[in-house]
Structure 1
Amino acid sequence: MQCDYFHAARCRSCTLMGVPYAVQLADKQRHVADVLAAVAPDVEWLPAHAGPEAAFRNKAKLVVGGSPGAVTVGILDRGGSGIDLRHCGLYEPGLAELVPRVADLLDRLGLEPYDVPRRRGELKHVLLTHSPDGEAMLRFVLRSQKHLALLRSRLPLVLDTLPEVRVVSANLQPEHKAVTEGEVEIVLTEADVLPMRVGDVELFLRPNSFFQTNTGVATALYRQAGEWVARVDPGIVLDLYCGVGGFALQAALAAGRRDRVVRGVEVAPEAIVSARRSAAALVASGATRADLDFAVGDATDVAVLPPVSGVDVEVGTAGAKETSLVVVNPPRRGIGPTLAAWLDGSAASHVVYSSCNVESLARDLARMPSLGAREARLFDMFPQTGHHEVAVLLERRP
């Protein structure tokens, strides 16, 4: 991949830029295999899955700099001045066309960019998410409500200029620190969700929803989990850290039992609302007859959660007749000792662990000696960087 910003030393976010992509992929595979070698000595590594090395990002997280009428969108230099990266080559088609138009629109709107060194101004970031169907979500991260009325009054201009934008919101982030967004989100459009088609499932992303940055590779990750579920054919699937429901919905579609019970648990209430909407659409379409539901809860406290729609979230007890499988997709810190110990002592026959940090994954696997790693696969979500995603199928030892 050729990047003029990188070679001009304007942006060095892509730390592996210039390294041939085949070498990047081989190095990542070697690294994750080496880290897991001690805790998963018998694991079978499936071929790594990689998408395109450029034009893959479905999100743009743009720091806004400059001045009214002459904004920059991209990053800040060490002095806090804006560096414009509106033509970054990582954006997928559609998003790559949208970002420069958003930058031009900001000049017309007259919002005052936040000046980090002087701690004044209002517009901190612009966050864009693009769907496979060409729709987009646009979020303005503001320091306060000072420009909120102006933004509301100019919403028709935003929608006329950017007809592919379905959802527009204002996020309030009043603190002067390196945090992209705040807790308060004000949706300005009638639509409040962005449909995101991922394989055979339609997810519904709200402004605060988490979704993988690389739609194509995320689709492959969900498909792999679905293949493992089909092979195990469990009667019960529990998806922890389920987010908007990607793994749970894929489990509901997986081959095998038509009456499979699938439950998702997630701490974010808005994500559960979205997951239930996707589940209702899937059931209504006739694509699945699974007993599918989601509940708000902290996955790290799963051992003390109440029953979810009549199904014990402890996935049965020792000697249970139903085959059960648990999916975990935690943040970088991993699942931690409490949840690992619970999984190790549970009646679950299999665990699918999706990890974005192989070091925390290795620590967690060491805490679950009753579960052996059978298969693993690297999913390269983030070409040009050292970041990785690894999925592992664990099976209870005899």
Structure 2
Amino acid sequence: MNCPHFDAGECGSCTLMGVPYATQVDELAAEVADRLADHVTHEQWSTPLVGPASGFRNKAKLAVGGTKEAPTFGILDADLRGVPLPECGLYTPALADALDSLLPVVAELGLAPFDVPARQGELKHLIVTGSPDGEVMVRFVLRSPGQLPRVRRGLDDLHAAVPGLRVVSVNIQPEHKAVLEGEEEIVLTEHETLPMRLDDITLHLRPRSFFQTNTFVATGLYRQARGWITEIDPASVLDLYCGVGGFALTAALAPGRDRRVHGVEVSADAVASARRSASELGVDVDFEAADARGLSALDHELVVLNPPRRGVGSDLCAAIESAAPDHLVYSSCNAVSLARDLSELPGYRVTRARFFDMFPQTRHHEVMVLLERT
């Protein structure tokens, strides 16, 4: 992959740019395996799952700079001034096309870009997500709700520019700190969710929902989980940190016996999305809005763990050890915290492991392991 912005020194986000992609995968997979060497043997690793080295990213997070008359959409430089990045080779072709049509219309709305050094202006970020079926969600991150009417008045123009536009929302982020979004989200369109189709499961993303930015590899991640679950064929599954329900729904649809499936997620919005997907699929999955770290009832044959970068932690590992489910599936974006958690689960041993190159051109990674009770 070649990038004029990287070559010009304008953007350094792709830290592995210039390294042949096969070399990136080999070196990063070896690094992850080395970090997990105390828990995973060489024979337990499956072939890494990779997708396209470019054109894979389903989300654009654009910092807004410049002036009301000439806004920039891209990143901020070392002086916190806007650097325009009109294109990025990481975006899926459909997302890139949507941005080409969308950005001129957003510029015409007359929203003053937020000037970080001066602490003036309104529009901080523009976050755009594209689905495999060509639908789009656009989020305006504003400092205050004062410019909300401008966005409302521009809805028809936005829809005309991007025929697949499904969701438009405004997020209010009033604080002057390095935080992408705030707590308040105002949806301006009839539709509140962006459907994301992964094989036979359609997940519903609300504006603040987390979802992997690489749809192709995320699909492979769920396929691998389905394969392991099918092989184990548990009677009951508990999905902790379930998000919008990907692993829980995968477990419910995996071949085998009828099974009891329960998903736990701290975000009420994500749980609402998961329940909608379950209803559309016609599967009986119980989703609960709660903090997984505070759970004590872990009486399931299989527990799925998909925590944030910090990992599961000692308390939840101790609760799992006490409950002693037969198997665990642990999906992690941080091999360091994964290794630490595996050390806190002495009653389990890894039987399978796989590396997923979710973020080509960077050192970020995803790894999933299957464990069984010893």
Q: TM-score, normalised by structure 1?
A: 0.92
The 10-residue stretch of structure 1 (335-344 or 53-62) with the greater mean CA deviation from structure 2? 335-344
Match of 2:290 in 1: 297
The answer on 1:135 being equivalent to 2:158 is no
CA apart distance, 1:302: 1.2
SS in 1 for 2:255: coil
List structure 1 segments (4+ residues) > 4 angstroms apart after TM superposition: none
**Residues 8-56 of structure 1: per-residue CA shift (max 9 Å, x gap):** 1110010000001011000111111101111334760000000000000
Match of 1:46 in 2: 46
* Distance of 2:86 and 2:358 partners within structure 1: 21
CA apart distance, 1:150: 1.6
* Distance of 1:96 and 1:155 partners within structure 2: 20
**Residues 210-243 of structure 1: per-residue CA shift (max 9 Å, x gap):** 1000000000000101111000000000000000
Match of 1:15 in 2: 15
Match of 2:159 in 1: 159
Residues 1-398 of structure 1 correspond to what in structure 2 (within 5 A)?
A: 1-41=1-41, 44-257=44-257, 259-283=258-282, 291-303=284-296, 313-315=297-299, 324-397=301-374
Contact 1:43 1:373 in 2 (8 A): no
CA apart distance, 1:361: 0.1
* Distance of 2:266 and 2:346 partners within structure 1: 27
**Residues 155-201 of structure 1: per-residue CA shift (max 9 Å, x gap):** 22221222211000000000111111000000001110111101110
**Residues 64-117 of structure 1: per-residue CA shift (max 9 Å, x gap):** 111113111110001111111121100001101111222211221111100111
* Distance of 1:370 and 1:62 partners within structure 2: 45
Q: Report how many residues are paired.
A: 374
* 5+ residue gaps, structure 1: 304-312, 317-323
SS in 1 for 2:295: helix
SS in 2 for 1:147: helix
Structure 1 residue identity aligned to 2:294 = D
Structure 1 residue identity aligned to 2:170 = A
* Distance of 2:88 and 2:148 partners within structure 1: 29
The 10-residue stretch of structure 1 (30-39 or 130-139) with the greater mean CA deviation from structure 2? 30-39
The 10-residue stretch of structure 1 (98-107 or 4-13) with the greater mean CA deviation from structure 2? 98-107
SS in 2 for 1:381: coil
Contact 1:379 1:389 in 2 (8 A): yes
Structure 2 residue identity aligned to 1:262 = V
* Distance of 2:153 and 2:261 partners within structure 1: 44
RMSD: 1.1
**Residues 130-164 of structure 1: per-residue CA shift (max 9 Å, x gap):** 00000000000000011011211222222122221
Match of 1:310 in 2: none
SS in 2 for 1:353: strand
CA apart distance, 1:343: 1.3
Structure 1 residue identity aligned to 2:71 = V
* Distance of 1:117 and 1:255 partners within structure 2: 56
Structure 1 residue identity aligned to 2:112 = E
